[in-house]
Structure 1
Amino acid sequence: MVAFAVTDWDDAYENGRNIPGGSDYPTAWEGPSASFRANANSHLDISYGEGERCCYDLFLPAGAPRGLFVFVHGGYWMALNKSYWSHLAAGPVARGWAVAIPSYDLCPDVTIAEITAQIGAAITHAAGKISGPVVLSGHSAGGHLVTAMMCEDTPLEQSVRHRLAHVLSISGLHDLRPLTFMWRKEALKLDMDTAIANSPALKRPLNGVRLTTWVGGGERQEFLRQSELLSNIWTGLGCLTQNVVAPNRHHFNVIDALADPDGPMLHTVLGEEG
């Protein structure tokens, strides 16, 4: 085994500059998302709280929904909004699920803890419209936010906790302590105490909720480690977990699999029939 230490934490968590064609994102998602919204059975900009960013889009299948599928976007809690990701709803909708994609306020205007509470409010609001099981997915910072929903201190209302079936964290960040060594720490208002308080990997998971961590094989080593870390720790706390490394995928295209109704990602999270 070769021992090494991270000497540049900013580079360790930098995706765009370390991916060929990385500068094409997030622009590359705008067209597919706009096209999907134009043809989808949808209700857009549903308010779940105060502020113009506290809203979500809801995409509906042809018949009665099997349940609620949620996708929470990334952007280091500092950037982007729900409009970039609409096309990812295609897979779950084709499988008969209603899909909610929320926006949320961004750092430094709010803290990560406040964003976590907002996502809890968005999921609770959407779950009030759609019956059945609730499945959560999120990418990068969104992976952090959805795994926070299945911690014992989840902001989800009790009735929604009992419906929570499976959480999918795609390239998620689950231990925030390394981020206190990065330039982003000021905007994220992170010090060691707030990082510990907001790290799902340092908390206990809810009973009876499955966890899947999913990461691209071509991602930065820290994202590979963060995914394996949470599955490893929570297995030891009685959670049914699995960690999937998708070959030939990087941080930005690993999420493409969500749009494929017959692909391995949705079969893993929703099952063969879901």
Structure 2
Amino acid sequence: MKIWLQHDQASLDAAYDQRVWAPDMADWLARYRADTEAARAALRPAVLSYGPHGCDLYPAQGRPRGVLLHIHGGAWRAQSRADSGILAPAFCAAGFEVAVPDFSLLPARRLPDVVQELRDCVAWLRPRGPIHLSGHSSGAHLAAVLATEQDFASVTLVSGLYDLEPVLLSSRRDYVMLDAAEAAALSPLRHAARITAPVFLAWGTAESPEFIRQSAALAAALPQAACFVLPGVNHFAAAYAPAQGAMHEAVVAAA
């Protein structure tokens, strides 16, 4: 029985399980950790706190351009700032401070609580200068939620989820656990007209069909967005897109 577009339950569950589409997921996650350790060793970020959570603040080099606030992925329930400094070398070299915060993970806290924590992080960073927001995967969802609520100098979204209705029809509902009103409020696709910042969107052609569809749907709802479709790139490799090539040049040029 179809429950979402062409998907039955098994197909939809697979469409929201990146392990199906990237069997080398563990290798990519190990690379995130290794590259973050290298960035920490080279750049020596300050370890600061906002509320109960830590934040790595990597120092800018050259002409100051503001702060890049990067929100990590992990399906809202995994990863941390120890895995998520992979953009810092490129953006610090371009003149950005790079802030990589920890925040609560599901199901220990609920998604509305996580969004509030990140609002607090934004408020804590505001005095440091213009904030350029970025996120990957579930971090792109969280960044997009913030972008519907507040002004940012730019917003970079990579391989995100922007409509929670199909997510809650998939097996992820077992730990996301939102009611209908909460899901609507936290679905950036439904509020895309509120996003006024320059937007940079990226996704890989080797991602799951639902992640591709959701990214394309947000692109269609944001005529101001610059889109970067990454041929042959899977979900985890896509995380590096803002730090290299045409996408990096575009984000830096917006500062």
Same fold by TM-score, threshold 0.5 exceeded? yes
Q: Which amino acid aligns with 1:97?
A: F
Provide the TM-score with structure 1 as the length reference: 0.85
Pick aligned residue for 2:25 from 22, 27, 33? 22
Do residues 134 (structure 1) and 131 (structure 2) align? yes
Q: Which residue of 1 aligns with 2:145?
A: 148
Once the 2 structures are TM-superposed, how far is the Cα of residue 119 of structure 1 from its aligned partner? Answer: 1.2
Do residues 234 (structure 1) and 222 (structure 2) align? yes
Q: Deviations over 1:39-94 (max 9, x none)?
A: 204202x11113xxx22110012345211111100111111111101132111111
Once the 2 structures are TM-superposed, how far is the Cα of residue 188 of structure 1 from its aligned partner? Answer: 1.0
Q: Distance in 2 between matches of 1:221 and 1:109?
A: 29
Runs (4+) off by over 4 Å: none
Q: Which amino acid aligns with 2:54?
A: C
What secondary structure, in the 3-state scheme, does the structure 2 residue paired with 1:25 have?
helix
Unaligned runs of 5+ in 1: none
Aligned Cα root-mean-square deviation (Å): 1.8
Contact 2:201–2:215 (CA<8 Å) still a contact in 1?
yes
Do residues 48 (structure 1) and 64 (structure 2) align? no
Contact 1:216–1:247 (CA<8 Å) still a contact in 2?
yes
Q: Distance in 2 between matches of 1:96 and 1:116?
A: 27
CA spacing shift, 1:266–1:217, aligned 2, 3 Å? same
Q: Distance in 1 between matches of 2:25 and 2:207?
A: 12
CA spacing shift, 1:193–1:216, aligned 2, 3 Å? same
Q: Distance in 2 between matches of 1:73 and 1:207?
A: 20
Once the 2 structures are TM-superposed, how far is the Cα of residue 229 of structure 1 from its aligned partner? Answer: 0.8
Aligned residues: 249
Q: Which amino acid aligns with 2:136?
A: H
Q: Distance in 2 between matches of 1:27 and 1:192?
A: 36
Unaligned runs of 5+ in 2: none
Do residues 110 (structure 1) and 109 (structure 2) align? yes
Q: Which residue of 2 aligns with 1:197?
A: 185
Q: Percent identity?
A: 29
Once the 2 structures are TM-superposed, how far is the Cα of residue 10 of structure 1 from its aligned partner? Answer: 1.1
Which stretch shifts more, 187-196 or 247-256? 187-196
Contact 2:168–2:176 (CA<8 Å) still a contact in 1?
no
Contact 1:227–1:243 (CA<8 Å) still a contact in 2?
no
Q: Which residue of 2 aligns with 1:5?
A: 6
CA spacing shift, 1:216–1:32, aligned 2, 3 Å? same
1:240-255 matched pairs, under 5 angstroms: 240-255=224-239
Q: Which residue of 1 aligns with 2:66?
A: 67
Contact 1:212–1:231 (CA<8 Å) still a contact in 2?
no
Higher percent of residues as helix: 2
